[in-house]
Amino acid sequence: MTTGPATGPAGSPGLRATRASLTPATLIAPGPGHLVLRTAGRGDFREGNALHVDDVLEADAVDRWVAAFAERLGHLAGVEHVLVRWETDVAFADAGTYAARLRAAAAERGLALDRLTVMELAGEPRALVPLTEGIDVVRAARDEQWWGVRALRISAAGGETDLSTWRTDQQRELAEHGGGAAWLAYRFGVPVAAAGVWRDGAGVAVVDDVVTHAVHRRLGIASHLVAVASRAHRQAFPDDRLLLLVEHATDAERLYARLGFAAVATVWGLTTPGSGADGRR
């Protein structure tokens, strides 16, 4: 598992969390003040073809880092996006004004500003009971369970099959080598929600790839699933920092706060618009 160093370039916890679900298919190399993530043959995998930067980007540094992305990754087959990420901690002053300034600079260049809240579970997750009966949560192990994970991700991606299948296969390999687990929620025997918990092997883990089929949303199923998966991970790896990343100031952020996750940082991104159904493909 190659996830980048725990300290040094782009070693902050939120950026480490974004790399925790990567497999050796993604090569990570240090550069001056940044890390380069490259996934050969999968230029359409945005999070696997990105720059992770140490510095807090200001508007006058946007062109520099967009040019660095083009130099390091723009020549790779299938890379038709830009993704430059960096992190600020929870004490970062006047984040709203900063976001407005960066968003304007991004828009001038045809880019978008990604703002993800990094949340951490300090203790045990609070139990949230689903608002429906017949829910069973299992750790994916058998073929048919991984097929369920794949089907849910294809649905969340608007029917995109190839990248969803590849990512599911990659994460199954990761799970089978001790890098974490995918979890499924069944409703009356049908897979209706999935989530992953992945480790960077150096003390950071991330809850990621949370998806609920559209027909079964707003029933508390994803909350229950994340609570079960988080509790299992906490029992198995009590020393890991357990994080998740969620779009800033959304219902999802408020939902995870109810589970016991608290905001600790922000991961920002300069990116080309249209990154897919989950915003992080």
pLDDT (tens digit, 0 to 9) for every residue of the chain, 281 residues total?
Answer: 344 444 456 789 999 999 999 999 999 999 999 999 999 999 999 999 999 999 999 999 999 999 999 999 999 999 999 999 999 999 998 999 999 999 999 999 999 999 999 999 999 999 889 999 999 999 999 999 999 999 999 999 999 999 999 999 999 999 999 999 999 999 999 999 999 999 999 999 999 999 999 999 999 999 999 999 999 999 999 999 999 999 999 999 999 999 999 999 999 999 999 754 343 43
- Supply angle C-alpha 241, 232, 239, rounded to 5: 30
> Phi/psi of residue 141, each to 5°?
-140, -45
What is d(CA 113, CA 83) in angstroms, rounded to the nearest whole number?
A: 10
Query: Which residues are paired to 37 by β-bridges?
Result: 28, 50
Per the document, the length of the chain is: 281
- The predicted structure's pLDDT at residue 276: 43
Residue carrying the six token digits 């609070």:
126
- The predicted structure's pLDDT at residue 11: 85
- The predicted structure's pLDDT at residue 8: 58
**In Å, how far are 42, 123, 124 from 136, measured between CA atoms?**
34, 24, 20
- Which value, in Å, is the radius of gyration of the alpha carbons in the chain? 18
